[in-house]
Amino acid sequence: MEMGRDDARFRAWLGTVIRNAVYNHCSQATTRKRRETNAAASNPASENQPSFQPHSSITGAWFFFVAGASSPVA
């Protein structure tokens, strides 16, 4: 199969588009990872704090309300 001039231009353009898309994806992934690593390193206290779980808090409060208890026991 013989490649014409128009076909060669399209393939060159497509190769450039694909190369740039892969480069952008890799750059963004690297930047995202670096940003997350820096954020975690700058705020180590947040890892030691218990995470707030609204579902369990709401469920617990609702249980004590329905059960007629005066206050929840922690």
Give tens-digit pLDDT for 35-52: 988 888 887 655 555 565
- Kindly state whether residue 60 falls inside one of the protein's structural domains: no
pLDDT of residue 23: 93
- Kindly state whether residue 1 falls inside one of the protein's structural domains: yes
- Domain total of the chain: 1
- Kindly state whether residue 11 falls inside one of the protein's structural domains: yes
Global pTM value: 0.46
**Contact 61/72 with Cβ under 8 angstroms?**
yes
Rg value, the chain, Cα: 28
* C-alpha to C-alpha distance for 11 and 17, rounded to whole angstroms: 10
Q: Above 80 in pLDDT, residue 17?
A: yes
Q: Which domain holds residue 37?
A: 1-41
pLDDT of residue 51: 60
- Kindly state whether residue 58 falls inside one of the protein's structural domains: no
